[in-house]
Chain A
Amino acid sequence: MEKLSGASMVVRSLIDEGVKHIFGYPGGSVLDIYDALHEKSNIEHILVRHEQAAVHMADGYARATGDVGVVLVTSGPGATNTITGIATAYMDSIPLVVISGQVHSHLIGNDAFQECDMIGISRPVVKHSFLVTDPRDIPAIIKKAFFIAASGRPGPVVVDVPKDCMNPEILHDYQYPEDIAMRSYNPTTSGHKGQIRRGLQALLAAKKPVLYVGGGAVISGCDSQILALSEKLGIPVVSTLMGLGAFPGTHPNSVGMLGMHGCYEANMTMHNSDLIFGIGVRFDDRTTNNVEKYCPNATILHIDIDPSSISKTIKVDIPIVGSAEKVLDEMLKQIEANDYGISDPTANDHWWSDIAKWCGRKSLAYQKSAEKIKPQQVIEVVHRLTNGDAYVTSDVGQHQMFAALYYPFNKPRRWINSGGLGTMGFGLPAALGVKLAKPDDTVVCITGDGSIQMNIQELSTALQYDIPVKIINLNNHFLGMVKQWQDMIYAGRHSQSYMDSVPDFAKIAEAYGHVGITISDPAQLEAGLEKAFAMKDKLVFVDIHVDETEHVYPMLIRGGAMNEMWLSKTEKS
């Protein structure tokens, strides 16, 4: 049998797992792994400028491809810097394996230099974690880590490796396991057939049904099944922020994004429905508003692979535990076998005319101006110039909502944002990870002057590895979403939300070796963006000065039902 050191086993296990990219940053306790990595050139390692960004890059990579993202960092601060990234991935169920160095086994617990209890500090935000105690376990632990990260409801897994377990002088037998069986971990994937039949009967009997799709639909890859179900039975589809793209945004059956900043028609459709079919959603507070007033007439049918997501906040009438793809396949099979839905294509006509009425309210309409660029307008131009087919990452705030509302996504995995944790600083590193995975596609990072400064140092990584993404900075010199809340709830007292001394971003981009463009005149917007997208091989930072008074609407009214929204600064639903 082949003999390898612990450090070489880490690298070989990753190669045998099929890993192509690692995002990381070296340091004392992982130098043996880095040395082993230096000898093997068939994995590309991306050296970041901050460990948090390494995790976001791996995360973006995982979101765009569905593969497991891999991170390698050192002990202590290297490990703690990954926590925000790990929590971001955990909240959105993104598969990652994060390998962290640890001090020597005999020093653990001694407050040694660069020691931190990584297993302890990451515990609430990981799907699982492993502390290596014997180097011979490394191949099996890495195999398990990838299996756990990618299966069931995906999530991040930490593998903490003490320095002595990597010792290059001591060799052990190496064999990468082909399969792994764990008696305590065996996620259910195919749903209960009886429950699926019950669910389908309820769906067919409903007069005002709606499909409510979320991030789980993207993860399970059931977009073609949702399309078939919606078209066969004539059912409208609303999407969460995380579900955008699981159903084509420009399809006539798409009613748009629901929730806190969802469009009027989507929230009204939910509130007035008599059956909500949740597919890979978790009924979180941003999509339900006040649970006491939640969709009063609706029967709730819910597919999720994680049983704990079912009836967590909203009581579900017909739960189905399983992978959305497999459950919907079975449902479509039952529809096919019984010729359901084809006999009366007009059954839901009344429902559709209600929806048409709500769409007529045009809740996303806005006023353009000759003096100031509107943020909504920027997104619309970006959509047009990229033919609606770019990978779009975002940070967190107003720009994120504008991107979600004004860039309709027709394919899953194209919209990449931190929906659950709401992590500012996610957008740029995530975009770099996406571009590495999809080098031939256009990758756009929609950001703001607040968010971009939380990981702007990654412009340096982008130059080193020549990763030509496009950064669209909706610059309003404010923390826009904070300001919006202060305008609406705190009588316009802008406490600490104004960013004085915002830098010249175009010059910063240039200083990092990229192209910077500044646009502030609405008449120059189209031409400026065209120029940016024409430079296919360059990272272009487009700093766009937008109207700082603009708010994101609609906005659900706090404590209200889903039909209670602000539609503009002065108008309520």
Chain B
Amino acid sequence: MRRIICVLLENQPGALSRVVGLFSQRGYNIETLTVAPTEDKTLSRLTIAVKADEAVLEQIEKQLHKLIDVLKVSNITESAHVEREVALIKVKAQGEIREEVKRLADIFRGQIVDVTQSLYTVQLIGTSEKLDACISALADITKVIEISRSGVVGLARGEKSMRA
């Protein structure tokens, strides 16, 4: 099952490599990983999407906690949460297909953020599933030249929060 684990990490040199190293060393698969500073400058927030069963997930959480630089670990998929991912998709858009690509982007509430005579770059925000659906629909009608995805970020809904 796919889970989203959020981690608050001390902003120390080498801290990120400890987290990434842990995953490769113990054979856990990272689907996506995003890292950025938080409102507290001494901390970074990581969002890690993984595919794991209950037993492996339990080990991942425990092993993350064991890292000295890790302050908090939270599996936001165990309750209500918001998740988003951004994708930039460069596609061929020439002739009659040009209009079709625009219409498809509109259906997924995407925006065309860059244009040449033969190409469109579509910006899309949503859950990873929505991004997958849009990319596959685009691929059905035109040639996809290049894709850049941000990886997922997320927060628990409501009062729940993860702070230092």
Please give the residue numbers on chain A whose beta carbons come within 8 Å of chain B beta carbons, in ascending order. 119-120, 123-124, 127-129, 131, 133, 148, 182-185, 306-308, 310-312, 315
Contact = CB atoms under 8 A, between A and B. Distances in A.
Contacts, number: 40
Interface of B: 10, 13-14, 17-18, 21, 25, 55, 58-59, 62-63, 65-66, 68-71, 164
Contacts of A182: 68
Nearest to A153: B66
B13 A183 contact: no
Contacts of B62: 307-308, 310
A311 B13 contact: no
Contacts of B13: 131, 133
B55 A311 contact: yes
A526 to B, nearest CB: 49
Chain B facing A: main interface SS: helix
In the A-B complex, the 6 residue pairs with the closest CB atoms: A308-B62, A128-B68, A184-B71, A307-B62, A185-B68, A124-B25
A45 B62 CA distance: 38
17 contacts: A123-B14, A123-B17, A123-B18, A124-B25, A128-B68, A129-B14, A131-B13, A131-B14, A183-B71, A183-B164, A184-B68, A184-B71, A185-B68, A308-B59, A308-B65, A308-B66, A315-B55
A123 B15 CA distance: 10
Nearest to B66: A308
B12 to A, nearest CB: 9
A120 B15 CA distance: 11
Given A120-B14, A131-B14, A307-B65, 9 more contacts: A119-B14, A123-B21, A184-B70, A184-B71, A307-B62, A307-B66, A308-B66, A312-B59, A315-B55
Contacts of B25: 124
A148 B66 CA distance: 12
A307 B70 CA distance: 15
Nearest to A308: B62
Contacts of A183: 71, 164
Contacts of B71: 183-184
Given A120-B17, A183-B164, A148 B68 contact: yes
A114 B66 CA distance: 32
A182 B68 CA distance: 9
B46 to A, nearest CB: 14
A224 B79 CA distance: 45
Contacts of A185: 68
B55 A184 contact: no
Contacts of B70: 184
Nearest to A182: B68
A123 B68 CA distance: 12
Nearest to B8: A184
Contacts of A131: 13-14
B15 to A, nearest CB: 10
